[in-house]
Structure 1
Amino acid sequence: MKTEEIKIANLKCGGCATTIKKELLELIGVDEVKVDKDNDSVSVTYSEEIRETILHRLHQLGYPEATEKNGLLLQLKSYSSCMIGKINNL
């Protein structure tokens, strides 16, 4: 099992964190997800070599790895994911 901290862009609030955690935990092989809003990072524990799958899912949600170009489209995706997370927290 491997635990890795991934720095991401567009992390704004608890709604973002809820969406990220829910979506990553649905991936086969992901055992634990912790979101640190203060450090703009996600700590993921996984049992297989699925790092690229994790990064791809984060990108789809609008939270790309901080090394990626963060364009307007990704920022808009992150706002959508944030709102979904806030609704799921109700």
Structure 2
Amino acid sequence: MSYTIAVENIKCGGCANSIRSKLVDQELAQSVEVDIEQGQVHVEGNPEWRDQVAMALAKMGYPEVGSVEGMKAAAAKAKSFVSCAIGRIDNASQGKG
């Protein structure tokens, strides 16, 4: 089963890489696709875990659009900046540029 969550603060491939790796590493998803331009996270996994996935995204700095966390944009943007930087470092170390 799959579902989509619209989130705030996705800016680049580093952000997308962080989201993918965290959700799969935490075994919250079998696979993840991130649409940077649309700000959407497409999750292949158990739809009953949707709330857990949304909470994990918010903790990374990518709160769901319209959520209380999404309204606290300054803190979320700071977290997403860190996540983005980590994703870029991971991409560079894996030769993904």
Aligned to 1:18: 17
Aligned equivalents of 1:16 and 1:29: distance in 2? 17
Instruction: Tell me the equivalent position of 1:61.
Output: 60
Instruction: Name the structure 1 match of 2:73.
Output: 71
Residues 1:38 and 2:37 are matched in the alignment: yes
CA contact (8 A) 2:28 2:53 kept: no
Partner Cα distance (1:47, 1:41) in 2 = 17
Alignment partner of 1:79: what SS? helix
Amino acid at match of 1:21: R
Match of 1:81 in 2: 83
Residue 49 of structure 1 aligns to a residue in which SS? helix
The unaligned stretches of length 5 or more in structure 1 are none
- When normalised by structure 1's length, the TM-score is 0.92
**How far is 1:32 from its partner?**
1.1
Q: CA deviation at 1:24?
A: 0.7
- Residues matched between the structures, number: 89
RMSD (Å) for aligned C-alpha atoms: 1.2
- Higher normalized helix content (fraction of residues): 2
Deviations 1:21-75 (A, max 9, x none): 0001123351110000111100001136111110110000000001121421111
Whether contact under 8 Å (2:2, 2:47) holds in the other structure is no
| Greater share of strand | 1
Deviating beyond 3 angstroms after TM superposition, the runs of 4 or more aligned structure 1 residues are: none
